Amino acid sequence: MGEARRPYRREPSERRRDDLIAAALAVMAEAGPGAMTVRTIAERAGISAGLIRHHFRSKEDLIRAAFAAMMDRMTETTRQVAEHHPGNPQQAIAALVSSSLRPPVMEPERIGQWAGFLNLVRQDPVMRDLHEAAYLKYRDMLQAHIQQLPGKEDPRLARHLAIACNGVIDGLWLEGGTLPHSFAPGEVERIGLSAVSSLLGIDLLAGFERE
Amino acid sequence: MGEARRPYRREPSERRRDDLIAAALAVMAEAGPGAMTVRTIAERAGISAGLIRHHFRSKEDLIRAAFAAMMDRMTETTRQVAEHHPGNPQQAIAALVSSSLRPPVMEPERIGQWAGFLNLVRQDPVMRDLHEAAYLKYRDMLQAHIQQLPGKEDPRLARHLAIACNGVIDGLWLEGGTLPHSFAPGEVERIGLSAVSSLLGIDLLAGFERE
DNA sequence: GGGCTTGTTATACGGTTGTATAACAACTGG
DNA sequence: CCAGTTGTTATACAACCGTATAACAAGCCC
Residue B112, chain A, CB below 8 Å: the answer is yes
Residue A171 burial (CB < 10 Å; 0-12/13-18/19+)?
Answer: buried
H/E/C letters for each residue in chain A?
CCCCCCCCCCCCHHHHHHHHHHHHHHHHHHHCHHHCCHHHHHHHHCCCHHHHHHHCCCHHHHHHHHHHHHHHHHHHHHHHHHHCCCCCHHHHHHHHHHHHCCCCCCCHHHHHHHHHHHHHHHHCHHHHHHHHHHHHHHHHHHHHHHHCCCCCCCHHHHHHHHHHHHHHHHHHHHHHHHCHHHCCCCHHHHHHHHHHHHHHCCCCCCCCCCC
Radius of gyration of chain B (CA): 20
Q: Do A132 and B182 touch (CB under 8 A)?
A: yes
Half-sphere exposure at residue B137, Cβ-oriented, CA atoms within 13 angstroms: 15
Q: Which of A100, A111, A113, A119 to mutate to test the interface with B (most CBs of B within 10 A)?
A: A119
Q: Calculate how close chain A gets to B43, using CA atoms only, in Å.
A: 21
Nearest beta carbon to residue B160 from set A123, A135, A191? A191
Q: How many of the other CB atoms lie within 10 Å of CB of B13?
A: 9
A65-200: which CATH topology? Tetracycline Repressor; domain 2 (1.10.357)
Residue B3 confidence (pLDDT): 65
CATH class of B10-56: mainly alpha
B39 touches strand C (CB under 7 A): no
Give the separation between CA B123 and CA B6, rounded to whole angstroms. Answer: 38
Q: Which nucleotides of C are covered by protein (CB under 7 A)?
A: 7-11, 16-22, 24-27
Residue B4 confidence (pLDDT): 77
Residue B157, chain A, CB below 8 Å: the answer is no
Angle at A41 between CA A37 and CA A43, to 5 degrees: 120
Q: Do B191 and A131 touch (CB under 8 A)?
A: no
Give the separation between CA B140 and CA B196, rounded to whole angstroms. Answer: 16
Orientation angle between helical segments B155-178 and B89-100, nearest 10 degrees: 30
Query: What's the CA–C1' distance between A59 and C4, in Å?
Result: 54
**Of B99, B74, B95, residue with least CA distance to B86:** B95
Q: Do A112 and B122 touch (CB under 8 A)?
A: yes
Q: Which residue of A has its CA nearest to B202?
A: A198
Q: Which of B199, B202, B205 to mutate to test the interface with A (most CBs of A within 10 A)?
A: B199
CATH 1.10.357.10 in chain B, residues?
66-200
DSSP 3-state helix, strand, coil percentages of chain B (rounded to 5)?
Answer: 75, 0, 25
Query: What's the CA–C1' distance between B28 and D27, in Å?
Result: 34
Residue A91 confidence (pLDDT): 95
Give the separation between CA A164 and CA B187, rounded to whole angstroms. Answer: 11
CATH 1.10.357.10 in chain A, residues?
65-200
Q: Which residue of A has its CA nearest to B173?
A: A167
Cis? peptide before A103, omega within 30° of 0: no
Give tens-digit pLDDT for A54-112: 999 999 999 999 999 999 999 999 999 999 999 999 999 999 999 999 999 999 999 99
Give the separation between CA A86 and CA A133, rounded to whole angstroms. Answer: 24
Q: How many CB pairs under 8 A join A and B?
A: 134
pLDDT per position in chain B (211 positions), as tens? 456 788 999 999 999 999 999 999 999 999 999 999 999 999 999 999 999 999 999 999 999 999 999 999 999 999 999 999 999 999 999 999 999 999 999 999 999 999 999 999 999 999 999 999 999 999 999 999 999 999 999 999 999 999 999 999 999 999 999 999 999 999 999 999 999 999 999 999 986 654 4
Looking at the domain that runs over B66-200, which CATH code has it been given? 1.10.357.10
Q: Which nucleotides of D are covered by protein (CB under 7 A)?
A: 7-11, 16-22, 24-27
